[in-house]
Every structure is written in structure tokens, then in C-alpha cells.
Amino acid sequence: MDERLLITVVMSPPALQHDSDGDACITIESAIGSETVVLNIESGVTDSGTVTNSKPGSTNMADAVRKARDAFNRGVTKPVEWRRKQLKALKRLYEENRQAMVDALRQDLRRSKTEAILLEVDYLINDLSNTIHCLDEWIKPERPSKGFVNLLDDVVIHNDPYGVVLVIGAWNYPLQLLLLPMTGAIAAGNAVIVKPSEVAVACNKFIVETLPKYLDSDAVVVVEGGPQETTELLKEKFDYIFYTGSTSVGKIVYEAATKNLTPVTLELGGKSPVYIDNTVDIVVTAKRILWGKFINVGQTCIAPDYILCTKEVQAKFVEASKKVLKEWYGEDPQKSPDLCRIINLRHFTRLQAILDNSKDKIAVGGKYDAQDKYIEPTILVDVSPTDKAMEDEIFGPILPIVPIENAYEAIKFINEREHPLVLYVFSTQSNIQKLFNDQTRSGSISMNDTVMFYAVETLPFGGVGYSGMGAYHGKATFDTFTHKKSCLVKNFAVIGEKLASNRYPPYSDSKLNFVMALMRKRHTPSLKFLPYLVAFAFGAGLTYGIVAWNKITSEDL
């Protein structure tokens, strides 16, 4: 009997299986009537596409968490001196291993030096430099405003670390998406368990071998492994979990976290749409969209996933794109040193299926090479909402264009689907920009450019709904790993106790009225214009003085 049976192994509870966004899946393939059973574990895929075992390391997950918990309980991570020392050591790691990081990214993704440095290495260095510079300011207790009833008290918000936090990275940006949140967790005073993606084999090896050489390995513990090890890891109790990856695995992480009521940040993905109207510079628009789409050959969670525009704009965009892509990658993009490759054969096969299903709609590109894991930058036109390219997040160098008639139809199309991680709007009309901002929901919205908003450290980055929960970047990363602990400090002064004693029994109407009067909200006039009033008064007084002086001087003459 020649028929074959494909069985997906479900590990319980909960079982991690990587899907189109990036983690490994475990399957058993069996020939019916045959004695042969092949176990296929795609957790560690090498650059050549061969499969490695899902247990690259022998880390005991319970021991790793216990080690970090002990370090936190001993107070190792809380002193600001320790935090600063770790952050400076991490910066030294980046600076001393810049080429090693570039090499690891090239092995995993054939990432060019420019993209490796701009999108990962220098991005990490700049974020870390800002964290070190701002650390003293961020950790200071906050003193919010207080009402009349607490006028004699001290009202404080302490920035406390959560405790032991877990950071799970992703394979598409295997250094940045793991080390950046880890930096915020350390800055906030936590002990950290970091789990790099086993799919990005070279970067996983770099982190496992290098991180312990620079950081306190008792408080910053690296664990490695595939879905089975991650499943075991999620059974442990953490005080915070930060996960970057697919929505399907994000649900599993969230389910595991709820068992211990552990707060989470989920940085997921989804189909991020682009709207283009006829008011834009189409050549500049094409460059900005194509760059955002084809860096890392589309294996970016915030890459433009599909375009919504009229057929007139579609035709102009395609013509402009042909010229831009030829200028960037030459006649044969496969020979370009600036174009990455698909992470492994499983993801290549998934993307190949989209192309094979869309042959009649390919306007640009469409070629592929399985041996090289190469897919040419491709643009699909006149795509239907029911086409295969519109089913899930593409996560590759394929850009579908769905024709619509106007902005209102585009908004309706977007709102009928899950909330995207980011929405891109290309229009010079402020009313159109406002329309999309007001009538859609997304993690972020960017006008007239793609991806670049991600580099603005003062803008929190995160999803909403199926695209994630929580946010980070800049101070938002520190805040993510910080518990805001409220504190009221009262003294034993006689006048304060005399006023407060009206809350004690025996109760009476007079006591009640007095306490209600103390607690009543009183809104004093805003002082935000006071500096302007002072400046005006000073200027008016100075002018009057000068005029008066001139008058006196002229009278003397």
C-alpha cells in the first residue's frame, strides 16, 4: 500500500508547534503497512536545510529558573550599580563581537552587512546607550499629585522589578528581538531567563556561547532547545513572560501564563495593510514600500503584507516598482548580495505554494530556487480577498495588491479582518490620514513610510488583539518589566492625626461631613500658562521701566 499518513504530534500541556511565522513543528510520517517510522523534528534547521535534533542543549529548565530565582531573592539584581554594570558589559559584548553577530546573521538568513548592522547590531547598541544614559532617571520613585486629604503625607510610586522574567526570542530577527527586551528587563532589576530561537542556529549558538562570558550567569540565564524544551520551560512559574513570534504559539504561551496568573507581553504579527491614493509621489512611495517589504526578504512582522489601491494606482505602482527593483537588485536578483534568503525549506515550501497558486497574477518576479531557498521579490496584481495570498500573514517577499475604489472601501476591508500590527497609509491629504487613524484599529499607524516608525524609541511598539498585547522600545521596555508599586507614607504629627481621627468610631454626621469635606475633589486653576504670564509681566514691566527712564532722562535734559 503506497498511501502515506502524516500525523502531527500534540504534546500536552501545552504543546509548542511553530507555524508560518517561525517556530518548529514536530510531525511523524509513517508509511501504512511499512515497518519504517520517520520522526521529523524541524526545530533546528541548518543553513543547508538539514534537520537537527530538538535538544541542542541539556539545560534543566527547573534548575535554570531556580538559579535565577535564588539570585533575585538574594537581592543580586536590584542595586542600580549591578544593573549598570550588566548593561555596560552588554554594550561591550556588542562592540567586541560586531563581526561575529554579522557573520551569524549571514549564516542563518544570508543577511547583508548593511541590514545586519542597521536592523540588529547598531539598533541594539543605540537602544542600550539610551537605556544606560536614562537609567538613573527611570528608576527614580515617582511622586504623583495628591489631594487635600493627603496634603501632609508622602505619596510615592516605586519602580519595582517583577522578579524572574522569561524572554522568548524569534528567528527572523534572532538577536534584536531577544536582546532588546532582555536589556529592559535587566535595567528594571529583574533576573532573566532568555530563550533564543533554535531555528536561527548560528545566532542561537552565538547567544549561548557569548552571553555568559559578559553577563552575570546566575541572574541572566540562557536556556536552549526546541518546542519540547520550551513546553517544559513554560510549566515553570515566572513573574513576567515576554514572547515574540506567531499568534498561534502566542496563544499557547498565554494559556501557560494564566495558570500562574503571570502577566505577559505578546509581540505577534498579522497582515499589515498598505493604502495608497493618487496624491502621492509614486516613485518615492514604491521605494519606501518595497524597502519595508523586502528587507530580510519579507520575514519581518511589520513588513507591508498587502496593498489596497485603485487599479489606476496599481498600474503606476507596478511600473515604478519594476524600475526600483532593477536598480536595487540588478537584472538577476538571485545574484544580488543584498537580498536575504528564506530561513528554511519548510518556510520556502509554504511561500512556493502561494506563488504556484497565483501564477496568473504575477506582475513582477515570481521565480524561485528551492536549493538556494531563494524567492524573487514578487508583486501580485488584481488579487481577490479569497486568494491563497490573503489567507495568512505572508512573511516572505510576495506583495499582493487588492484593488479597491476608495478610502472608505479600504477601511471597510481592513475592519473586516483582525487588527493588524501596523497600518501604513500613503496620502498627502490630512483628512484621509485622519480618516484611517479614527476609523481603524491597529498596533501602530504610519503615514507615508514603512518600518521607520519602529526606530523611534519614544514610540511604544506593540500590537492589539490578534497582533499582540503590551508594548516596548525605549522607556516603554523598562516600564514593561517594572511593577508600579504604590506607597502612602503617613507620619505621626498631631495635626494630621487630629484631622484623620474623624474617620474613627463612634460615627456621627458631623464627623462624616468633615471627612467628606476633606476628601472632596478640588480643581485649582491650571498653571500651565503661568510661565507665559510671568514672561509677559516681566516684559511689560521692563518696557514700562525703559519708557519711564527715557522720559525722566529727557526731562533732565
Q: Which residues belong to the active site?
A: 267, 301
What one-letter code names the amino acid at 327?
E
At 85, which helix (H) or strand (E)? helix 80-96
Three-class secondary structure of residue 62 per DSSP: helix
Grid coordinates 531555528 are at which residue? Answer: 199
Reduced DSSP (H G I as helix, E B as strand, rest coil) percent helix, strand, coil of the chain, to 5: 45, 15, 35
Nearby residues of 421 by Cβ (< 8 Å), 6 or more positions away: 268, 269, 270, 272, 301, 302, 442, 443, 444, 463, 467, 468
What one-letter code names the amino acid at 413?
F
Angstrom distance (rounded) from CA 504 to CA 502: 5
Grid coordinates 542563518 are at which residue? Answer: 108
Angstrom distance (rounded) from CA 147 to CA 238: 37
Q: At what angle do helices 430-439 and 407-415 cross, to 10 degrees?
A: 20
Angstrom distance (rounded) from CA 140 to CA 414: 42
Contact 485, 158 (CB under 8 A): yes
Angstrom distance (rounded) from CA 37 to CA 31: 7
Helices (H), 118-226: 122-139, 176-187, 201-214
Q: DSSP of 389-436, one letter per residue?
A: GGTS---SSEEEEEE-SSHHHHHHHHHTSPPPSEEEEE-S-HHHHHHH
Q: Which residues in 70-99 are b (16+ Cβ under 10 Å) and which e?
A: ebbeeebbbeeebbbebbebbbebbeebee
Contact 349, 124 (CB under 8 A): no
At 230, which helix (H) or strand (E)? helix 227-234
Backbone φ and ψ of 373, nearest 5°: 50, 40
Selection from 397, 398, 442 nearest residue 417 by Cα: 442
Grid coordinates 522568548 are at which residue? Answer: 168
